[in-house]
Structure 1
């Protein structure tokens, strides 16, 4: 039989192709009829989709992954060529000389001009770029005064593409000029971020972008999937690789001739200070060991040239680091017993040191931004009360001081003006959450009779409201954690008083309190993650009404130690109604 048409269907060789090219590519069943002779009937799928139904004898199926990978490789090659072109002007010169704009590529290349305003499929106008930069420097910059407001967006784009788009993405968090801009930018910015760090950046300005991204992370709904701690490690190691810890000796860390001028030393010093401040905040806020190094701040050169705003922040975070290493590192778990008397003396010493620091900063004209971080540092110190043993003599005093610190922080944050409140960094959110959990635990313990329950319940409700207002997208971390806190409160109303304030989670520093509460919530709620996603759409009820704080309430000054000891008749507020707090 020389002709295949003479074979019976049962005698066909298994290698004959009976599917059209389109169906073979998609691995779908095909009913194409080819033959006998020139007879050809297209398959139903191609006819319905109006596709060219044909059988190609030389066809070889190509997987979607391979095609997608080829596109990504081409895109990466294009980006690499663009980076090489951008770096041509800086060969043989220092990063500082290049950054001062001796060669402005944005004026000589239309592709460069496009990259200033365009990231993948997102294009902004010059007016929008100007508004976004103005928003960043007026609202976000005061919390981390790393950059120079005197420069425009072209300057920062010239320093590094990642820094430019990081500034834009942070400003887009509350920007109304382009609805949904942050969510459009998130995926392209993440791709730019990881492609940048994977190639070992050759300029230290990438550290600035990483510091900003760690201070205001891109929105996420899961703490386990948020890469902030990873980015902090990359930022810190990259800073040392470029010699920022020795700002006046950049040549020692470069293989080419580096021309370092006075302004470059100052910029490297301010960047190194910001790297340490951010590393300390992230470590404290996530309950992890600190990466920051502070010996340079005590003995380093050129400290007088640092920005005054960064000087105060360095003093605060250096204090936080000392507290962490003394009170929370390998001493507050069940493995090592500590001398409780010595520990109490250390706590009192640190409290006095913090009070002196606050007086110093106030005398030099400190801002609300320093006050917020001073209150957070005080809470960080006082949260160690939950690691203390109930049998020690000053246990009640430690709990009282913790209550005062938590109330003081919440009072400051919940009464902030909107032009400050809506731009708070993630670290402040985390400390507000810890303060709310501290109030929750104290108000549902036998120590509730020793505190002002009415004001405390109001502060707790205000804290939940504040966290919900800080949300920038549905189901993000502030919204989810606020809902967890509210559910913990409501679940506790039907339970008896919990006199056991000891923590099961004890290795997350001062934030062990928060992670312990989250574990407790998970034990109370079945299918916790799915339940939480539904609950954030219908937030849990808190207080029906807010009772305004008395005008005499003034943070720590409200709680006089002597009168506290005499006031034994405070009773918890009963019969409080509950409703949803609108955000």
Structure 2
């Protein structure tokens, strides 16, 4: 008995915590017999042996493993030394069950993820070495835990394993999948073609970086890049639905994320294509963008803590990012206000109002953005000073005040342009936006009356501003250095498209009024047709809004030429008072609440009024002719009857419009569609076989977001241009 005990004492590696207990329990079966001297000696030897009992370290006890730790003198066990664990012995140590430990770890991970999400919402960006574990690593961790591998070291091994590489990324939105290769090509398209128009994102970052910032930002970049993406022409159509649902789902969640604001900047600059403005949410999204930006404190970049529930400590890069994003928000908001003829929801505070020399990094903007912001700030002053009037029900300023302010801002415009363009390193786009601002200013001439002093001078200034702007636009039609077969113009923003449309309608008004004899009509006509080509080149899809507007303006141009010739001959034989009155009537606006865009809405309103009246009478004549032809011809000659109906239909239109002789001449000479395509740059003809039997339709009233093109395809005018199959580009 004693020999066995002494042998155990001399073997430190074989000692176990439970060995003494088992021996002690072995004597318990002897009962409560009188204690002998031998038993007392045994108890004494046990008391002497107890302090020398071998104990395993905490790590080995947790795993129920054999431990070779030496207590006196203390020496680490071989397992802790090999795994670089803390080897220690604590008398109060208790093993922790795996289930409770895993549950605690999961709760801690969830708390960390919530804290990380709140930090990212305030603008913090994780470094590469600080990123959370990828799903692949989390999956690997769960797998190793199920296999029973030591969970205390498996996580650290995976985190420190620099050689680990996850699978190739594939991004998915609903049923649309994008490979890594396709994603990279789309991002390259964005950086080369679209980024120069609004340079506020970083081309040095990978696509996954933007996806981690916010999925909506990633898919917004993809949608912009897909507008003219040759490798997959149907990508934009496939993406429009899923992206729209993702957008409004995100808006419904009340986002407070910096990168959500960036996504809206892109979607308001290059909106998804639509055929009518009543379904265009750009103006609404612009308001959401600005309210979200102010909600997270972008307008006070130095005081982001005042708009956050967690502690915010921004470094220089993050501060500059927030300032740049806020500047871009104001640029985009001003574009939406000017382009849609609505009050802009801009906020030019002290940060943006300060000049480039008054700010120091990181509160200084990129020179390109700084110049662009100054231009839009000038446009904002025009919109708020020249056009509105709080005392007028339509919000239109008085004639004399508007004329005086126009002259004041012309001088300010010249000074600002000279100052900005004297800087080095600015692109051609800055000059283009300057001419757009000049057009925005001079379009106020349509609000004046002939009795106002300088009325003709204001119209001449509008003519010069319009042609100067279009000259800059046509420079973008030259092939870019990246691709000789493509021009930069097709990648233009929605704002530039809207300004081109307003320039076209301006030329349409000036060239078909009494003012045409004061300007070069041939040069203006050439500019008008080139502008139509420019609009069609920006068209993304068949029958989208740019395509429909281009064909509409061509139709209005053709029907106005005969009227212009007749009215010009009458004016030549009239006195000056009659000339001034006729000139004022031809340029007078009924729609005067849309600021500089009033000429666009007014022109389309007049078109719908005129062609609605013509459509009703011509529709009745068309129905009678169709019935007569079907009664007199057999079904075998139905094709020839339809052709004759088309030709006769043009000739039987009631001559209620002064330009009908020109249309009759076109019908009599049977000009082919190809000739029209050569002359005007579109593929369709003057008549649409599919629209001959269209029923008469009613027109909805003009609302705040309607370009009056809603229901255009259902126009009662039987000879409406066939645009359903037109090509979007040139």
Shorter-chain TM-score bucket reads: 0.7 to 0.9
Give 1:493's aligned residue.
561
Query: Which structure 2 residues correspond to residues 37-116 of structure 1 after superposition, within 5 A?
Result: 88=114, 90-91=116-117, 93-94=119-120, 95-101=122-128, 102-104=130-132, 108=136
Q: Does 1:318 align with 2:377?
A: yes
TM-score normalised by length of structure 1:
0.73
Q: In 1, Cα distance between the equivalents of 2:594 and 2:169?
A: 42
CA contact (8 A) 1:99 1:155 kept: no
Q: In 2, Cα distance between the equivalents of 1:190 and 1:390?
A: 48
Q: Does 1:173 align with 2:227?
A: yes
Give 1:134's aligned residue.
188
Give 2:272's aligned residue.
218
Give 1:455's aligned residue.
523
Give 2:321's aligned residue.
267
Q: Any idea what the Cα deviations from partners look like across 1:321-375, whole Å, max 9, x if unmatched? A: 0001111112797868866454333212211221222222221132111111111
Q: Any idea what the Cα deviations from partners look like across 1:49-103, whole Å, max 9, x if unmatched? A: xxxxxxxxxxxxxxxxxxxxxxxxxxxxxxxxxxx99954615635433454521
Query: Which structure 2 residues correspond to residues 427-466 of structure 1 after superposition, within 5 A?
Result: 427-466=495-534
CA-CA distance at 1:113 after TM superposition:
7.7
CA-CA distance at 1:392 after TM superposition:
1.2
Equivalent residue in structure 2 for 1:280, among 323, 334, 357: 334
Q: Does 1:509 align with 2:595?
A: yes
Q: Any idea what the Cα deviations from partners look like across 1:165-195, whole Å, max 9, x if unmatched? A: 1001100111112231111111010011011
Give 1:544's aligned residue.
679
CA contact (8 A) 1:287 1:509 kept: yes
Q: Any idea what the Cα deviations from partners look like across 1:209-237, whole Å, max 9, x if unmatched? A: 00100000000001111000110010000
- 342 and 505 in structure 1: CA distance in 2 versus 1, 3 angstrom threshold: closer
Q: In 2, Cα distance between the equivalents of 1:332 and 1:459?
A: 39
CA contact (8 A) 2:435 2:465 kept: yes
Q: Any idea what the Cα deviations from partners look like across 1:25-53, whole Å, max 9, x if unmatched? A: xxxxxxxxxxxxxxxxxxxxxxxxxxxxx
Equivalent residue in structure 1 for 2:409, among 350, 367, 375: 350
Q: In 2, Cα distance between the equivalents of 1:225 and 1:235?
A: 18
Give 1:551's aligned residue.
none
CA contact (8 A) 1:133 1:171 kept: yes
Further displaced range: 193-202 or 86-95: 86-95
CA contact (8 A) 1:486 1:540 kept: no
Give 1:159's aligned residue.
213
CA contact (8 A) 1:132 1:175 kept: yes
Further displaced range: 109-118 or 255-264: 109-118
CA-CA distance at 1:108 after TM superposition:
4.0
- 108 and 328 in structure 1: CA distance in 2 versus 1, 3 angstrom threshold: farther
Secondary structure of 1:96's match?
coil
Q: Any idea what the Cα deviations from partners look like across 1:247-293, whole Å, max 9, x if unmatched? A: 11111101012221111110000000000100000011000011001
Equivalent residue in structure 2 for 1:407, among 434, 447, 467: 467
- 539 and 267 in structure 1: CA distance in 2 versus 1, 3 angstrom threshold: farther
Q: Any idea what the Cα deviations from partners look like across 1:480-509, whole Å, max 9, x if unmatched? A: 111121111112123254631110000001
Give 1:205's aligned residue.
259
Q: In 2, Cα distance between the equivalents of 1:280 and 1:244?
A: 17
Q: Does 1:298 align with 2:353?
A: yes
CA-CA distance at 1:119 after TM superposition:
1.3
Q: CA RMSD in A?
A: 3.1
Give 1:421's aligned residue.
489
CA contact (8 A) 1:332 1:506 kept: no
Give 1:194's aligned residue.
248
Secondary structure of 1:274's match?
helix
Q: Does 1:375 align with 2:402?
A: no
CA-CA distance at 1:436 after TM superposition:
0.8
Q: In 2, Cα distance between the equivalents of 1:337 and 1:474?
A: 37
Q: In 2, Cα distance between the equivalents of 1:338 and 1:425?
A: 30
Q: In 1, Cα distance between the equivalents of 2:238 and 2:168?
A: 18
CA contact (8 A) 1:432 1:463 kept: yes
- 335 and 279 in structure 1: CA distance in 2 versus 1, 3 angstrom threshold: closer
CA-CA distance at 1:149 after TM superposition:
1.2
Equivalent residue in structure 1 for 2:175, among 99, 104, 121: 121
Give 1:359's aligned residue.
418
Give 1:66's aligned residue.
none
CA contact (8 A) 2:256 2:292 kept: no
Further displaced range: 401-410 or 332-341: 332-341
CA contact (8 A) 2:286 2:333 kept: yes
Q: In 2, Cα distance between the equivalents of 1:196 and 1:529?
A: 44
CA-CA distance at 1:404 after TM superposition:
0.6
- 341 and 524 in structure 1: CA distance in 2 versus 1, 3 angstrom threshold: closer
Secondary structure of 1:118's match?
strand
CA contact (8 A) 2:432 2:469 kept: yes
Further displaced range: 332-341 or 416-425: 332-341
- 92 and 478 in structure 1: CA distance in 2 versus 1, 3 angstrom threshold: closer
Q: Any idea what the Cα deviations from partners look like across 1:499-538, whole Å, max 9, x if unmatched? A: 311100000010000000110111122399999xxxxxx7
- 181 and 344 in structure 1: CA distance in 2 versus 1, 3 angstrom threshold: same
Q: In 1, Cα distance between the equivalents of 2:339 and 2:614?
A: 23
CA contact (8 A) 1:279 1:291 kept: yes
TM-score normalised by length of structure 2:
0.59
CA-CA distance at 1:115 after TM superposition:
8.0
Which consecutive unaligned segments of at least 5 residues does structure 2 have? 1-109, 140-165, 479-485, 568-581, 619-672, 682-725
